[in-house]
Structure formats: structure tokens, C-alpha cells
Structure 1
Amino acid sequence: MNHRAAWQRYALIALSIVLAFAFLGSRGLWDPDEGRYTNVAVNMLDSGDWLNPHRSGHVGHWTKPPLTYWAIASSLGAFGKTPFAARVPVALSYLVCVLLTWRIAKRLAPGTESTAALVFATMLLPFGASHLVTTDFILAASETLAVWAFVEARSGSRQPLAWFALMWVGFALAFLAKGPPGLLPLVVLLAYDHRSWRRHLGFQLAGAALFCTLALPWYAAVIAGNPGLFEYFIGDEVINRVTTDEFGRHGEWYGWITVYVPTLVLGTVPWTATAWRWAKALPADIRRWRSRDARRGDKAAVFLALWVLVPLLVFILSRSRMPLYLLPLFVPLAIIIAMQRRKEQRASPRWSWLAGWVLALLGLSLATAFWPTHKDASRWAMAIRERTDTPVTEVVFVEDMARYGLRLHLDAEIEKISLDPVPAGLQAHFNPRNDEDLATELIEAVNEPGAVWICKEARWPEIQARIAALGHTTTVLGSPYRGRIIFRTRAAPEPASPPATGMPER
């Protein structure tokens, strides 16, 4: 490695670390996503139950497999219960993706690796996602690990079988991060190189067994301990997410246009123009790749196009659509952009321009700490502390969005309750809209003097009347906060018994 290349690598490493960790803990957790994932992780850490994810003491949370919760809980246990610690696993996943982008590009298109890693590190979507607690970056890192191992196995490495084993480890981690969607790149690898799979069929079967050994024990354990959970996983978390708009995630026929087009356009900033030139030339390339000789000559380009287009097609056809679903595709997009720039003989970006963009990204990260959003759980925690003079052990949201980030910021249990009884059914059992009903919570509240209740100001008269009808009184704590009433409840004292009037016995 010459001096210039070494300097570029060290500069890229330093830049990536700064982008990953600068201002990582400068703001509180944002609900719903950051609060929800961190809440489950804190519950795991406090209860010692790392097998069954819970959103409250008695309600499970089965919408995602456990890898993200395990990673967050481990970080909180190591670094303390802070927003910074909650985001460390995501920041590390971002760095893993930067490194693996470099490694894959070095194999597929030698000479583009530094540019590819730089592109991924500075694209708007990967940078923004690296400061959010979600499953998506841990999934992206796991999938990219699997694809990197495949590329190494197919690129003349001395120990291809060991690389194939690592590939299955990566897919096992992806499966523990998000279930079946984590296996989408496997479809790409099978489509791209089915002959190699047949040639190593015996070992691939052993690799699949390794995958099952790592990925399936958690599923088997929780399904055995929770009757009906298998049907919920398959029916609601797989089939319904793909085929219905049950979860309200842009399921309209045009939903992919409103979600994925802006994600790809804005998410690739400041490299969008290069990505657009690649996309514009793609139809002609696909027609040319009908020729076997053309495919052989453009192996890297074909592989990268498949890596982007096959999962993208699945996401378009699915009726559950969210911007971060595309995050794993930004690794191949970064390599594509680097190859396109080399094809166009474009020089590396000027350091002055790059420094300006990096400062803009850091400024954006810092600005979020001062953005007055209702999503910031730390501000809710401050408002609650200002209105109470005793420790808060539980926060109960009545017919309102639960601010699960308060689990970390207040160290209090969070519950979401309904006025009426919780309906029965498989979906309601494993992913209920509410934890329990008002009557049940009021009975439990007798033994929870540290509980604070929150409801929408517009519904306060109705909720106050329902609480009174159940024999409890309410005390409002301070003025409303963001259109919400913060209050406490207690059982109304029983009326005194009238004095006896009968004649005493003789």
C-alpha cells in the first residue's frame, strides 16, 4: 500500500468514527421506534429474562426477533442506561457496513473500494439511520456480512468453505434480527450463482444446518412456551405484512412510489446524480446482459444490480412499506456509485467539498437535539418530574400513544390501557393494541402509589368520569403538557358506617 492509499484509508476510518459517534447521545429517545426497542431491552436487562421480549411486566412484544433487543440490552448493561448506550449497537453496525462496503468493492471492482466506503459513509440515509435505534442497521450489517462472505468464497479465496460457513452465520444473524426478510439476499446469491451452489451442495446443506443451529433455537423455545405464537408469526408478521395493509404502512398500490422513490432520491444525497446516471443506463445494460458473454464480462455489475433490484422488487410488491426497509440496499448502491464514477473518469471529491458536507451532516445531527418535537421522551420525562415530588415507578397512558422512551428516561414501567376490555384473539393476544383495560389497571394502581397517568386533554372529562364511576378519584398534576393531562389516581375512601342505634343486650 502506497503512502497516499494508506492516508486515505486512515482518514476514512477517522471520518466514519466521527460520523458514527458524534452527538450520538445529544438528544433523548424518540418515540415510537427508539422508545419501543429500548423499552423492551431495558425490560430484558432488569428482569433477567432474555428469552421472552416484553413491552411491560405482563405483555410480550413479538413483532421482532430478539437480536436487536439483545444488542441494546448488552450495551445498556455495559455503558449505563443512557440514549448514547442505546444507540451504540446501531453506530457499530454502521461502521461494520462501511468496512464491508470497502471489502466487497475491493473484490468486485478493485480500485473503487475507498470511494465506495466513502459514498456509503456520507450518504444521507445511512448516516441518519446510524443515529436511530431500529432493527434495520443491525439487519443491514448481518446481511452485508453474509454477502461479503459469499463474495470472498467466490473470488478465489484459499478457504472457500470457511467463507461459506461465515455466510450462513451472517444469514442466521439476519434471521434473528428481522426474520424471513433477512434472507432476501440469499435469493440473490442463488439466482446469481446457482451452478456453484450445486457444486458445493453437500457443504451448503451442512451450512444450512449451521444456520438452523444458530437461528432457530430461540424461535423453537418461545413457540414451545407460548401456544399460538407460531401461527401469529406466520399469519401476522409474515403473511399479513406482505399481503395486507393491516399495519397501516403505505399499502396503497402507489405506496411504493410515495415511500421508496423519495428514499432513493434523498437517501443517496450527495451522490444522487451519479446513482441516477446508473439507473438511466440500466435498461440498456439489462438488454445487453441477455448475452452470456456480456454477463461474464460484467460479472460485478450484474451481481450488484441483482443485489439491488431483487429485494427492491419484493419491497415494491409487499404492502408494508417503510423507508428504512431499503437501508441494506445502500451497500450495493455505494459500490455501484463508485464504479459509475470510475467509468465516467470522475476525480475523487475535493476535500474542501467533502469537509463541508460532513460538517453539514454533523450540524444536522446536533440540530435534532434542539428540535422541539413531541417525540422526544426526555422532554416528557422532564415535564413529569416537574409535576411530581415523589419517584415515578409507572406511567400509564389512557387511550393514547405510549411514550415507551420514558422507560429509559424515568426508569419507570410504561403501560398503555383502554377504557373498555381488551378484545380476544390471536393478534390481540401477542400484539395487543393496549396492555389492559381501565378497570383492571385501577385495581392494580392501589398498590402502585408511584404511578402517573396521562391522557389527551380532549378526552379528559370522559376519562375522569369513567375513573370516578369505578370508585377512584383523580388529581391533576400541573398544567397540560402538549395537549395532555398528567394526573394521579387513588381509591375513593369508603363512607363511614352509621352508628348503631339498637338497644344493648342485657
Structure 2
Amino acid sequence: MAVTWQLPPRVVGVATNLLLTCALGALLAFSFLGSRGIWDPDEGRYSNVALTMLDTGDWLTPRRNSTIGHWTKPPGTYWMVAGSVALFGETPWAARLPIALSYLACMLLAGLCADRLFPGSGPVAAIAYATMSTPSVAGQLITTDFPLAASQALAMYAWLGRRAGDALYRHRWLLLMWAAFGIGFMIKGPPALLPLLAVGLAGMLCPAPGLRWRWHLSGIVVFLAIALPWYLMVAARNPGLLGYFLGAEVIDRVATDRFGRSGQWYGWLQVYVPVLTLGTLPWTGDLWRWLRQLPGHLRSWRARRQGSVDQQLLLALWILVPLLVFCLARSRMPLYLLPLFVPLAVAVAGQRLQAGRRFNWKWLGAWIVLLLAARAGGALWPTHKDASTWAEAIRARVHGPIHEVVFVEDMARYGLHLHLGTEIRKVSVMPVPAARFNPTYDGALQAELKQAERDPGLVFVVKQARYPEVERVIHAYGYAVHPWGSPFQGRVLFGVEPAADAAR
């Protein structure tokens, strides 16, 4: 008699769920990833700095171009983008690949964290995360927020492992947590450590099994070994940079509206409420039910024992403590909340597991089709932010080499660096005092005019309304102007040469 062997139904079910979840994640991560050009300003700025690292060979100093540093963020994201472009070529797909991989990592970690807190809910959390509108949209944008979200999610998964994992491996989970925070610190600096506030508060309310002090010290050493060397090296090279980091990029972003990012007292309502309602679709209802039930969970925890561990309490601290800090800080942007979508997906999974609710696959399938259609529409949508259309317009108008594009008192389209392979600069018409770090302009127009004498491949861009004024200034400096073709997007493209050469 023939003997047949087959997997138990439970194993088959788990394998099927895993394969379907991975397929869904890959579909949402990579579909239309390179179908549109780089969008300015954010994608252009990050991709430009990464490409400048490749051009100059200097991977230590983030630069807007060969002469001006760009000190708003540590280099973690730039290194990822530069490495991807070096491997796969100068294409939008390659530049966005690290972001798509970060999206997949967050999806996986949402599932793993959910299984730690609510066993059996992992696939639901992963699918909920993958299909939430904010992660789905952000997964196609080059910013620091997704790599940061992935590093924080890894740190918090390690923290949950340190609390609930095998006692023999708790020290390893602790070291992994600090290593992940170190990586996050290299991506976005001090904001990467916000979940530590939740970790510390959870340790006070729900003490976990202790470890010897040397393991805590070892974790901090691991963090410092990853996070500190770059800061020390660039601070030694650039005196005063550390003060700028602490003053402008930390204190001012928290306590002032210096950067004009919804710093009013009600700014958090304008920015974060839409993100937490529309950005969590189609799972907003589940989150609302979880939030309504949360006070009951907390009262139950207090009634049982003050020091007992409660999964809902840990999850609430993970979400609410960083959210409170984001609301109090006066620099507010929608994607600042992106790291919170991992615990939000875990909350969705926990709530659905508790309520015994199943997916409506027809509605979820329709939602996924809608997400993909929105991406296709974004690729076809004509916008002045698309650097690829600018590159096409410049190539069509300029008859000759294109070595540098100079924007005269206009928003620099740094995305052109990837599409044209040229350096991008922003200059002022007249010389202005320049800040030591992150100046508004890369220099003055006169210096670029002198550069144009040696290199005819400079293309200047100015708003149509300011062109007559700029033309007069250029003539006063002894140069002639020759426009390149018709205006584009309300801008005049032109070249310059010494007036004597033009007359001859």
C-alpha cells in the first residue's frame, strides 16, 4: 500500500498565510516604484545628497553640491540611497529601493510584534500595516522617515523579546535593542530615541525580569559604538557643528517655529488628526474601538496588581508617549508619525483578535486596487515637482553640454541631479551674508558667471517675472544672456557668455 505524506492542516494554513502576506507586501512595496521621476523638494534633496557622496567620494560629509554641506540629518539614509544607486544605477527605482525595503521590514516587524503581544495576530497586523494609506504612500517617497520607522520597530521588537523571550537570550535582545536605536540615531538623530521614553515608563509600571548591570552597560556601549563615531568625526572637522546640531536641529525644532512647520498651539490638530484618521484607513474603525476599550483594559490592570504586565498597557505606552511628544514639539510634519503605524497595526490586530472579527476580503481587495490605482495616477499626474519633466525640458532646449544647473533665487530642483547627472546650485542675485551651516544660497550669481566663462555647460534658471531684472544685473557684470527656447513652468532657461565674446 502506498504511503502518502502531507503537512498538518495547521502548518499548511500558516504557510499559506505567510506566502499571501509576503506576496501582498511585495506587490505594495515594489509596484510603480520607478514609474515616476524624482519629486522635489524632499525626494530631490535626499537623492541629491546621496549622489553627491558618490560624485565626490566623500561618504562622511553630506553635501548639497561639491562645496556646500547639508547638515540637517545624519548620513544613514544617504548611505542607503547611495549604496542602492551604486549597485543598480542612477534611476528613481534604485533611489527608492531602500524605502521600499524599509516598508517591508516594518510590515514584517508589525507582524512579529503582534505575535509577541497577542499570539496568533501576526498576519493580521502585517496586512493591516501594509494596507494603511500612510505607509502605502510613504513607501514610495525618499525620506528619512521610513528607515527610521524600521529601526525603531526593530528596537521595540527586541524590547518585547527582552521582556517576554527565553531567559537565556534576554541579554541578546537587550543588545539588539540598543543596536537598533544606534542605527536610528544615524538616520535621524535624537528623535530616534523617543520610544525609550515608553520603554522607561513601562519599566516603572510593569517591571520586567532584571538583568545584571553589565548587560545594560554593554547595550549602551553598543549604541555609542554605532551612533557616536560619525558625530565626533564631523564635529572635529567642522568646529561649531555640534552646537548647530543641538541648537537648530534639536532645540529649535522642539521649542520654536523657526522652520515654519505648523508651530501654532493648534498645529498638531491640523497635521496629526488627519494623519491618524485618514492615514489609518481602512482600519480607522478598529483603532477607534481599541481606543474606546483601552480605559477598561487599564482599569482592569490596576485592579489586578499594580506591578503586573499588561499587553494593552505596553502597546498604549508605545503609541501615546511618542505621540504626546510630537504634539508638544512645535515642528510638526505628517510623516513624523510614521514610526507609530507599526504599533497602530498591532493595536488593530489585537482588537480584531479579541473581537473574533475576520477580514472582508472583497472590500480589502477593492482597497488594494484603489491603492495601486492611486500610485498609477501619481505616476501620470503632471506636476511641477517632477524633476524628470524638468530634465526633458532642459534637454529639449539646451543645445550643448549640460554640466550644471543654476537656479537664481528660485527653488532648486535637486532631483535633476539624478535625471541629468549634473550638479545643482541655488544662488542669490546679489551677494548676501551666508550662514556657516546650511546657508539659504550656495553662493552669488557673480561667482557662477565667472564659472560660466570656463565652462559653457552652465544652464541658468530664473522666474519669468524676474528675468528682466536678472538680465540687467548680468549685463552690468559684463556678460551677455541668451535664452534657451521658450519658458518652461514660468521659468526662463538661459546661458551666459562674456559680452565681448557675444559681440564678436
1:326 aligned residue: 337
Partner of 1:492: 499
2:407 corresponds to: 397
* Residue 457 (structure 2) aligns with: 450
Give the aligned partner of residue 437 of structure 2.
430
Give the gaps of 5 or more residues in structure 1. Answer: 497-506
3-state SS, counterpart of residue 165 of structure 2? coil
SS of residue matched to 2:268: helix
Shift of 1:36: 0.2
Would the aligned equivalents of 1:288 and 1:294 in 2 still touch at CA under 8 Å?
no
Taking the aligned partners of 1:177 and 1:21, their CA distance within structure 2 comes to 22
What are the equivalent positions in structure 2 for 1:179-328 lying under 5 Å apart? 179-194=189-204, 195-196=207-208, 199-291=211-303, 293=305, 296=308, 299-328=310-339
Q: Which residue number in structure 1 is paired with residue 175 of structure 2? A: 165
Between the aligned partners of 1:123 and 1:260, the Cα distance in structure 2 is: 15
Residue 144 of structure 1 corresponds to 153
Q: What is the CA distance between 1:375 and its match in structure 2?
A: 0.5
| 8 Å CA contact 2:297, 2:312 repeated in 1 | no
Shift of the 44–306 alpha-carbon distance from structure 1 to 2, 3 Å rule, reads same
Q: In 2, distance between residues paired with 1:200 and 1:244?
A: 41
Could you tell me which residue of structure 1 aligns to residue 118 of structure 2? 109
Alignment of 1:354-393 (within 5 A): 354-393=364-403
Which residue is equivalent to 2:416?
406
Residue type of the alignment partner of 1:56: N
Distance 1:159 1:289 in 2: 27
Superposed displacement of residue 447, structure 1: 1.7
The answer to whether the 8 Å contact 2:77/2:144 transfers is yes
Q: What one-letter code is carried by the residue in structure 2 that aligns with 1:87?
A: R
The alignment covers a number of residue pairs equal to 491
Give the Cα–Cα distance (whole angstroms) in 2 for the partners of residues 495 and 66 of structure 1: 44
- 1:136, 1:325 within 8 Å by CA — same for their partners in 2? yes
- Secondary structure of residue in 2 paired with 1:269: coil
The separation in 2 between residues aligned to 1:489 and 1:164, in whole angstroms, is 61
What is the CA–CA distance in structure 1 between the aligned matches of 2:453 and 2:294, rounded to whole Å? 66
CA distance 1:269–1:364, shift in 2 (3 Å)? same
From 68, 76, 84, the equivalent of 1:75 is: 84
Task: Calculate the TM-score normalised by the size of structure 1.
Answer: 0.94
SS in 2 for 1:479: coil
- 2:110 paired with 1:98: no
SS across alignment from 1:193: helix
Among candidates 56, 74, 80, match of residue 47 of structure 1: 56
The aligned counterpart of 2:35 is: 26
Change (3 A) 1:413 1:360: same
Partners in 1 of 2:307 and 2:297 — Cα distance? Answer: 10
**1:132 and 2:144 aligned:** no
- Post-superposition shift, 1:284? 4.6
- Tell me what 1:342 maps to: 353
How far off its partner does 1:234 sit? 0.5
Q: Aligned AA for 1:435?
A: D
CA contact (8 A) 2:264 2:330 kept: yes
Alignment partners' CA distance in 1, 2:180 and 2:139: 20
Q: CA 1:294–1:109 in 2, change beyond 3 Å: closer, same or farther? A: farther
The alignment partner of 2:230 has SS state of helix
1:502 matched residue in structure 2:
none
8 Å Cα contact 1:392/1:450 also seen in 2: yes
* Structure 2: distance between partners of 1:495 and 1:402: 28
Q: Which amino acid aligns with 2:64?
A: R
Q: Provide the rounded CA distance (Å) in 1 between the counterparts of 2:364 and 2:478.
A: 65
d(CA) in 2 for partners of 1:156, 1:54: 43
| 1:77-105 CA distance string (max 9 Å, x none) | 00000000000000000111111111111
Q: 1: CA distance between counterparts of 2:127 and 2:89?
A: 32
Q: Residue 415 of structure 1: SS of its match in structure 2?
A: strand
Equivalent pairs: percent with the same residue? 53
Separation in structure 1 between the aligned mates of residue 165 and residue 229 of structure 2, nearest angstrom: 34
Tell me by how many angstroms 1:296 deviates. 2.9
Q: Residue deviations 1:232-272, cap 9 Å, x none?
A: 00000000111111111111111100000000111101111
Please state whether the residue corresponding to 2:305 is helix, strand or coil.
helix
Letter in 2 for 1:458: A
Change (3 A) 1:35 1:495: closer
Q: Matched residues in 1 for 2:298 and 2:493: separation?
A: 60
Shift of the alpha carbon at 1:354?
A: 2.1
Q: What is the rounded CA distance, in whole Å, between the counterparts of 2:367 and 2:109 in structure 1?
A: 23
- 1:482 corresponds, among 486, 489, 502, to 489
CA shift for structure 1 position 188: 1.0
Deviation at 1:5, TM superposition (A): 2.1
Conserved? CA contact 1:41–1:73, under 8 Å: yes
Distance 2:171 2:211 in 1: 12
Residue 422 of structure 1 and its aligned partner are, at CA, apart by 3.1
Aligned-residue offset at 1:203: 1.1
What's the TM-score once normalised by structure 2's chain length? 0.95
Deviation at 1:196, TM superposition (A): 4.1
Contact 2:241 2:437 in 1 (8 A): yes
Structure 1 vs Structure 2 CA RMSD: 1.6
Conserved in 2, the CA contact under 8 Å of 1:295 and 1:302?
Answer: no
- Residue of 470, 474, 479 corresponding to 1:472: 479
